[in-house]
Amino acid sequence: MDSATEVLDQPQIERVQLEGLVVMKVIKHCQENFPMTVMGQLLGMDRNETLEITNCYPFISPPTGAATAGPDGVDTVAFEREQHRYQREMMWCVREARIDHQVVGWYQSSGSQMGSFLSSQWIETQFNYQINLSNIVCLVYDPVRTEEGTLSIHAYRLTKKFMDVMRKQDFSSLGFSNLSVSASTIIEEVPVTLHNSSLINAALVELDYADEFSGANDVELSRLSISDKPVLEQSMDFLISDLDALGREQSKYSYYMRNLVRGQGQLLERMRKRRAENANRTAKGEEPLQEDDDVQQMFEKEPSRLDTKILLKELDSYVESIKSLASEGIVKQYGVSGVQAGEE
């Protein structure tokens, strides 16, 4: 039982309480930079089992020329330094304005990627947060689906089991299965609730009845437009390219497996020889040689399974969103047919 460590740890949060302010700020920042993927810091506090996110600020995005400078060019270093300075100054401003200044996570827009965010980089970042602070979530905002009329903002974190895998840095299939981690248990979603102060609610009442939000401007009605075909098509494109990538990973793996099987015969042969040699050496009174270092080597050569797991998880989320889009499309179809039937 890991309940002993549980007690020592801070209580694990079970839900995320999001302020309306944060929702609006995230939407503004991500939508302005669409289709670029942007990130930001979430501020708030954790209270018992609820993580309250009360404010946030955007991170600066790397200069557009940095991509040409290469991953470890001088530009990246300079950018990182600038990012640090920026964050320090921003935190000072946040404290001055008496805003909660405890870091509770970060947010990211999925850009034009149709809600996909999972990558080894994402995992790396989230792992670094989670290893230092136990209650950290990443809010993922999908600008494309929100533009289509459904707010898509979800909180994710790495599961405890996967954190163990990350700590061991063992991404072989054995490493995953030892800790019983599968693609679906790399990350988990934390349920999000919304909260607003009475004052903001007063402002909302005012806005709710404003001209800009009623009549022809009502979101409820603009949602009925039959225009999400391009979104569906794009999602399918991403799905197909990810499936290709998965296929490549699979063939890489089966190539490794083939080699492993082929190598096993040679290995056994070598081990038999080694054993015979050792028997010889002991007979001569010499130190026996290591018997299974070759076997060890064989294992270390297994390619990292992490990318495959990530791809599987990604594909799963694509499939889910396509399913949801398709069923939405079917309902709209019947709606249209209803209108046509009424015409006749």
Partner 1 sequence: MESTDIFVGGEDSGARQVKVSPVVLFNVADHYQRRTDDKRRVIGTLLGRVNANGTVEVTNCFPLPHSEKVKEFKEVAVDNIYNETMHTLHRRLNTTEEPVGWYATGTETDISSVVIHEFYARECRNPVHLLVDAGLVSGRFDVNAFVSTAYQINDRALSSELRPIPVCMKPGKAEKVGLDVLFKNRRREEGDKSLPIMASEIENLEKSMERLLELLDVVGKNVDAVVAGEVEGNVTTGRFLAETLTMVPRMNASDFEQLFGDNMRDLLMVAYLCKLTQTQLIVAEKLLAIDTTPKH
The residues in 204-243 that bind partner 1, with binding defined as CB under 8 A, are 204-208, 210-213, 217-224, 232, 236, 239, 243
**Looking at beta carbons only, is 119 or 178 nearer to partner 1?**
178
**Looking at beta carbons only, is 168 or 213 nearer to partner 1?**
213
Any residues with CB less than 8 A from the CB of 124 and at least 6 apart, and which?
Answer: none
Give yes or no for residue 49 binding partner 1 (CB under 8 A): no
Instruction: Using alpha carbons, select from 178, 196, 211, 253 the residue that is nearest to residue 23.
Output: 196
- Single out the residue of 43, 138, 139, 183 in contact with partner 1 (rule: CB under 8 A): 183
Give yes or no for residue 45 binding partner 1 (CB under 8 A): no
**Looking at beta carbons only, is 133 or 326 nearer to partner 1?**
326
CA-based max dimension of the chain: 103
Give yes or no for residue 202 binding partner 1 (CB under 8 A): yes
What's the closest the beta carbon of residue 141 comes to partner 1, in angstroms?
9
- Single out the residue of 119, 251, 264, 282 in contact with partner 1 (rule: CB under 8 A): 264
Give yes or no for residue 6 binding partner 1 (CB under 8 A): no
**Looking at beta carbons only, is 4 or 331 nearer to partner 1?**
331
What's the closest the beta carbon of residue 55 comes to partner 1, in angstroms?
7
What's the closest the beta carbon of residue 290 comes to partner 1, in angstroms?
15
What's the closest the beta carbon of residue 108 comes to partner 1, in angstroms?
15
Give yes or no for residue 192 binding partner 1 (CB under 8 A): yes
- Residue 312 CA to residue 52 CA, distance in Å, equals 31
Any residues with CB less than 8 A from the CB of 133 and at least 6 apart, and which?
Answer: 103
Instruction: Using alpha carbons, select from 38, 25, 192 the residue that is nearest to residue 113.
Output: 38
Residue listed under structure tokens 């399918």: 236
- Single out the residue of 1, 4, 8, 97 in contact with partner 1 (rule: CB under 8 A): 97
Which residues, 102 to 141, sit near partner 1 by CB under 8 A?
none
**Looking at beta carbons only, is 74 or 334 nearer to partner 1?**
334
Describe the crossing of helices 293-300 and 229-284 by its angle, rounded to 10 degrees.
170
Give yes or no for residue 278 binding partner 1 (CB under 8 A): no
Give yes or no for residue 326 binding partner 1 (CB under 8 A): yes
**Looking at beta carbons only, is 41 or 130 nearer to partner 1?**
41
Residue listed under structure tokens 């991170």: 59
**Looking at beta carbons only, is 168 or 323 nearer to partner 1?**
323
Beta-carbon count within 10 A of 283 CB: 8
Which residues, 67 to 86, sit near partner 1 by CB under 8 A?
86
Give yes or no for residue 36 binding partner 1 (CB under 8 A): no
What's the closest the beta carbon of residue 23 comes to partner 1, in angstroms?
5
> How do beta strands 187-190 and 15-19 pair?
unpaired
- Residue 110 CA to residue 142 CA, distance in Å, equals 5
**Looking at beta carbons only, is 16 or 136 nearer to partner 1?**
16
State the virtual CA torsion across 214, 25, 319, 243 in degrees, nearest 10. 140
- Single out the residue of 104, 153, 163, 310 in contact with partner 1 (rule: CB under 8 A): 153
Hey, what are 111's tokens?
């850009």
Q: In what order do the strands lie in the sheet with 50-58?
A: 187-190, 153-158, 137-141, 102-109, 39-47, 50-58, 15-19, 192-195
Q: Report whether the peptide linkage leading into residue 58 is cis, meaning its omega lies within 30 degrees of zero.
A: no
- Residue 111 CA to residue 38 CA, distance in Å, equals 8
From 43-51, 73-81, 115-123, 319-327, span contacting partner 1 (CB under 8 A): 319-327
Contact 137, 272 (CB under 8 A): no
